[in-house]
Amino acid sequence: MSATVKAVSSDAEGPQPDLRPLTIVLANPRGFCAGVERAIEIVERALEKYGAPVYVRHEIVHNRFVVESLEAKGAIFVEELNEVPENVPVIFSAHGVPKSVPADAVRRDLFYLDATCPLVSKVHREAERHHRLGDMVILIGHDGHPEVIGTMGQLPEDAMVLVQTVEEAENIAIENPDSVAYITQTTLSVDDTVEIIGVLKRRFPSIKGPKKEDICYATTNRQEAVKAIAVGSDAVIVVGAPNSSNSQRLVEVARNFGCSKAMLIQRAADIDWSTLDGVSRLGITAGASAPEILVEEVIATLRTRFDITIERPDGAVENIFFKLPKILTKDAEAS
């Protein structure tokens, strides 16, 4: 799935008069992951095939630029299914939804497309499997996040319990400690999650876990990439949305790995220039729901104030691709 190399390439436009030098270190990989690309393409293809409007339950991914771009093409974003009128397509976001949502769509005879990331769907299937085996399921995640709401909604209310912190893991009470399993939100901090899992395994020695870790490849790769650039950077900018879990985790990881001056911005206009006083080496990365065009915008804005040199360290190579729903593929159109 991925390979890591250590080469570094750089580019510079030559010295700019009267501008202070600034070296930008671009994390690699950064930005869009396969699940995000798939979700956005589902909305775009649905608009092409069915015409506007196409409704989307919740932000398709957590990025306002992406949402507003799709709104301009005819997508309408709503929070609940009862806001969707009859006789229009509705798409469920990449974060996944409780089982009650597609059931309600079927009851109302709505045509829906599910853009849930396949790696989130994998966690849903794990929860169902453990429940069938009679296990109490512990979900490691953040309360209120759409992915957590969707995952909790795969099972009856008393069949899954949420753990957010090491302290909660230390204090959680399970009626049958020999029949328990854990799953995790896909966008958590890898290091924090390992600590919580360690507590659960100590307290419940027979606890069952996923065969392969639930935290997705893109979350892991982006966190490893920001660790690599944080160590030698005076500051780190993460391009992403405040409601994006994976973007928030990148800020935390950068701070934990040597760069106390790590900040989250949505657009170049959000840069607090005072935070760059005295900074000569700036790391830049982007959350999995942030498009590369926003990183380019940040760099272009920085060029107006600094004499920029860019370093591009190599990192994990991602070649993951998720199939679209068959109804939206060209093969379906031809048949």
Kindly list the catalytic residues. Answer: 147
CA-to-CA distance for 282 and 205, rounded, in angstroms? 44
Paired tokens of 61: 């991914």
CB atoms within 10 A of CB 169: 22
How many alpha carbons fall within 13 Å on the CB side of residue 199?
16
Backbone φ, ψ for residue 114 (5° rounding): -105, 110
CA-to-CA distance for 157 and 178, rounded, in angstroms? 20
Would strands 8-12 and 306-313 be described as parallel, antiparallel, or unpaired?
antiparallel
List all residues 6 or more positions away from 62 whose beta carbon is below 8 Å from its beta carbon: 240, 241, 243, 244, 245, 247, 287, 289
Q: Are 114 and 325 in contact (CB under 8 A)?
A: yes
Closest CA to 37 of 318, 334, 228: 318
For 134: left if phi > 0, alpha if psi spans -120 to 50, otherwise beta; the answer is left
CA-to-CA distance for 38 and 322, rounded, in angstroms? 7
Paired tokens of 18: 């009267």
- What is the SS3 string spanning 189-200? CHHHHHHHHHHH
